Structure 1
Amino acid sequence: MSLRPVLETREARPTMEGAGVHLHRAFGFGDPSEQDPFLLFDDFRGDHEELYKEGFPWHPHRGIETITYVLAGEVEHGDSLGNRGTLGAGSVQWMTAGSGILHQEMPRGDAQGRMHGFQLWANLPSSLKMTAPRYQDIGGDDIPVVTEDDGTTARIVMGTFWGKTGPVDGIAADPQYLDISVPPNVKRRFKVDTYRQTFAYVFAGAGRFSDASAPQGVLLEKEVAGQEVNIRDLSGNRTLVRFGTGDEITVQAGPEGVRFLLVSGAPIQEPVAWHGPIVMNTQDELKQAMRELRNGTFIRPAH
């Protein structure tokens, strides 16, 4: 067994998208090789509808897949293919944009006005860039949950973990997407595939991720490559943890426990030409997509 080193921690940065949705971005629109096959990760949450009510009106996607995971409130979605639906608390949607789709996503708060969800973009390899678009909508009750004797819980959105397999399948990046909660002061090890890109995103509580160079733990307040990370904001820190190679990670939960997403996927290792919600392999392909958007031929007829 080899413990993955902590390469970096990074606080998600506040930004606005859509028609004025306040969110925090952990990564995106930077070096696409950094998290290959993943391109972007957003955390959108708010206690007041003014922060999210205008949503994400009609916009295009091509060449990627997006996963939306809702924790509180709901997201109404519709697209140019006639699909309509609502993602409730605990549910997930994986959208394969493929050759192109126009869609909208409109967040709505719960009875207390709360809205919380995540969106992750995964790249498509060149062989699937122009595949037919499709959706997978999965209700929260269909996501398996495993609880260990020490109280550690994993919701398995996709991939296989602790003997259970998540309901979302057929994704090019072949990802593992876990929602993990570790009780107060509990230390846990989690196995991950050595050859997959892996990151954790802490969104509640506090924890320390051990490094191979400091397996017993060193408390730090700020990012220090090659050391352990102490995530201190007990209300939910919005902190990305990037790992190097290895086949396991270790986390020591703080006095309030810790909850985080653990995401991994197989790198694609292809050139990336990227403009907004369109991700292709070459600048010529990107220019073609933009021409098709302008002349109305972006959406390909279904076969």
Structure 2
Amino acid sequence: MNARDGLQRPVDAGPRRVSLRTRGHMHGPITRLMSPSDLGHTLKPFVFLDLFDIDLHDPRGGFSIHPHSGLATITVIVDGDLRFDDPADGTGYIGFGGFEWMRAGGGVWHGKELSGGRSPRAKGFQLWIALPPALEQATVESQYVEAPQVPTTGPAHVILGSYGGVRSPARSPDGVTYLLVRLAAGTSWTFVPPEGQTVAWMAVASGRLVGEASAETGQMALFDPSSQSIALEAGAEEDVVFVIGSAVPHAHELHLGNYSVHTSAAALEKGEANIERLRKLLIAAGDRRQGDGGSIPVFTGEAGGE
């Protein structure tokens, strides 16, 4: 089986070459595959990628409250589910194909807005993308999108951008495509990057891809900058689950803070100053835990403490 999902624009001849494969660095239940200080410079606007396998039912597990500015985070679940309990979006579960989109913009504190779901553990990817100047100081926004609301095309769930005639509900910037794909054992599929999106990479959550673009569980693969399509084939033994991203190259240098990514030193200074302002407001706000689930909504300093 070979699906192009209706994307028939001409592409360069020959296979798209993998320029690098990495397994990143494991820290307990989290594997860091990319960070802004290393591969983020090559793949910008994609600047950070974690593969996690966590138990958020354990109060000692998960992520601590931490700040961001100048970027957006996208959390995709590939196995199990997590619960969200949000004053604006209500309560629900993010399972396979669902995601959280959070635009940090000018500054936010978060890390506990998702809690343990119906499964014992949850496995997934957290991705950061660097925002363009028009959005890096914008107001914060969050979306919790359950799997039934995520459009599909062939084997792919469209997490960010448009692909195969369908568009993600995420309010992400133009020029970025991010898909979650489950490819049946022994089948093939071709990813055709949208026009101008010459940055491309993929990461495998489970199973094995074979052929020119081979990769195994826990590996991330970078592709040479190109408009060429990417032919992908699942091994015969089992289905393979992976994420794949493409984008128009980010035209700005990365100016990095501990949790911030901006396009200039001045923008970074402004973002970090706002993070410090929010830290003081967050301390003053006290305990913001939601119900028995243990989730804590993102903090923007706006009315209501959200």
**2:284 matched residue in structure 1:** none
> How far, CA to CA, are the matches of 1:178 and 1:134 in structure 2?
21
C-alpha displacement of 1:281: 2.8
> How far, CA to CA, are the matches of 2:239 and 2:157 in structure 1?
16
TM-score, length-normalised on structure 1? 0.76
> Structure 1 runs of 4+ off > 6 angstroms?
none
Higher strand proportion (structure 1 or 2): 1
In the superposition, relative to structure 1, how do residues 77 and 30 fare at CA in structure 2: closer, same or farther (>3 Å)? farther
> How far, CA to CA, are the matches of 1:42 and 1:167 in structure 2?
23
Matched, 1:92 2:74: no
Matched, 1:240 2:220: yes
Q: Please show how residues 132-281 of structure 1 align to structure 2 within 5 Å.
A: 132-147=139-154, 153-169=155-171, 171-193=172-194, 195-196=196-197, 197-210=199-212, 229=214, 231-232=215-216, 237-244=217-224, 245-255=226-236, 256-281=238-263
Matched residue pairs, number?
266
Conserved? CA contact 2:205–2:218, under 8 Å: yes
> How far, CA to CA, are the matches of 1:124 and 1:94 in structure 2?
13
> How far, CA to CA, are the matches of 1:77 and 1:276 in structure 2?
27
One-letter amino acid of the structure 2 residue matched with residue 42 of structure 1: D
Matched, 1:40 2:22: no
TM-score, length-normalised on structure 2? 0.76
Deviates more, 1:106-115 or 1:237-246: 106-115
Conserved? CA contact 1:46–1:114, under 8 Å: yes
Conserved? CA contact 1:124–1:173, under 8 Å: no
> How far, CA to CA, are the matches of 2:263 and 2:26 in structure 1?
29
Out of 55, 63, 75, the position equivalent to 1:56 is 63
2:66 counterpart SS class: strand
Partner deviation per Cα, 1:66-125 (whole Å, 9 max, x = no partner): 11112322043669xx87755421321211111112223255445551211221111111
List runs of 5+ in structure 1 lacking aligned partners. Answer: 17-21, 148-152, 211-227
In the superposition, relative to structure 1, how do residues 13 and 271 fare at CA in structure 2: closer, same or farther (>3 Å)? same
**1:220 matched residue in structure 2:** none
In the superposition, relative to structure 1, how do residues 287 and 77 fare at CA in structure 2: closer, same or farther (>3 Å)? farther
2:173 counterpart SS class: coil
Partner deviation per Cα, 1:31-84 (whole Å, 9 max, x = no partner): 33211101101111147955x8532233221111111112322043669xx877
Matched, 1:13 2:25: yes
Conserved? CA contact 1:156–1:177, under 8 Å: yes
> How far, CA to CA, are the matches of 1:127 and 1:44 in structure 2?
31
C-alpha displacement of 1:192: 1.3
Matched, 1:73 2:81: yes
**1:222 matched residue in structure 2:** none
List runs of 5+ in structure 2 lacking aligned partners. Answer: 1-10, 282-299
